[in-house]
Amino acid sequence: MQINKILVVGAGAMGSQIGMVCALAGYQVTIQDVAADMLAAARSQLTDRMDSSVVKGRRSRQDAEAALARLTFTTSLEAGAADVDFVIEAATEKLEVKRSIFAALGRAAPEHAILATNSSTLGSSKVAEETGRPQQVCNMHFFNPALVMKCVEVVRHGKTSPDTVDTTMKLARSLGKSPVLIDREIPGFVANRLMGAIRDEALRLYADGIASVSDIDTAAKTALGHPMGPFELMDLVGLDVSYLIRQATFEETQDPADLPHPALKELYEQGNYGRKTAHGWYRYDQSGTRIQ
């Protein structure tokens, strides 16, 4: 299937960057969000990112402006989906929200359009039947920051067609990504399960008083070669995201071991989400630079 136009649902950090990745690859992209202020913030942040990229010599001014020109923004899901070939949903990790979105997409998107979810925990089988076209539904999971990270997990469910998988894998490659095909749904998929094991052990070591947050991060970087420690990574992704992922995993498995760690829960309930709120495991200034 020829893909020309892509709709990204959700203008948060992930959605906006996914949209920019697609625009940089030459696709016409619409970013949709119910909140006009989120769309305005996304437009401003993406423009700033492209300006910074030009200043640093990573891309030409002409390429940056051309990519930005391929982006449009709308609060209307129906208008955004009307003539697209591929949809990537990047809304909040709440099943009821996603089901509502996919039901609307099933009605509004052209019959040929593939409908993918960027969810990192919820398998697409949970929303596929809402669309009336379950064979054209899968997970296309990007990693944060989507403009930088190469991995994309493509996850099929029991009714996903081979054509849908093939098209989604080809799209990921055309974006400059390295897609990983996951043949069976499992909470957390592959990469997050690997990272989750490290994160959970880091939380245990911290809670048991074995080592400090900063020393655990240092060990991960200097002994294991990780570019960021587990606590730094949680702050970057957002502690709210980490909390909701754990909560969604528990709702899927009903295993108490999958509940958010008490230390993570405490920060989440305090509204300390990491870099985005200037306070998480570490403290940050307004530019996002760590100060403590």
Catalytic residue among 153, 185, 232, 252: 153
Return d(Cα 30, Cα 22) in angstroms, integer.
10
Find the helix packing angle between 230-237 and 239-253, rounded to 10°. 90
Q: Is 238 left (phi over 0), alpha (psi -120 to 50) or beta?
A: left
**Peptide bond preceding 145: is omega within 30 degrees of 0, i.e. cis?**
yes
Return d(Cα 219, Cα 257) in angstroms, integer.
25
Q: Are 154 and 179 in contact (CB under 8 A)?
A: yes
Is 112 a known active-site residue? Answer: no
Is 185 a known active-site residue? Answer: no
Return d(Cα 254, Cα 101) in angstroms, integer.
25
Catalytic residue among 120, 124, 139, 272: 120
Q: Are 114 and 85 in contact (CB under 8 A)?
A: yes
Within 8 A by CB and 6+ apart from 208, the residues are none
Is 141 a known active-site residue? Answer: yes
For residue 96 the two structure tokens come to: 């009821």
Catalytic residue among 124, 192, 242, 272: 192
For residue 152 the two structure tokens come to: 């994309």
Is 157 a known active-site residue? Answer: no
Q: Which residues are catalytic?
A: 120, 141, 153, 192
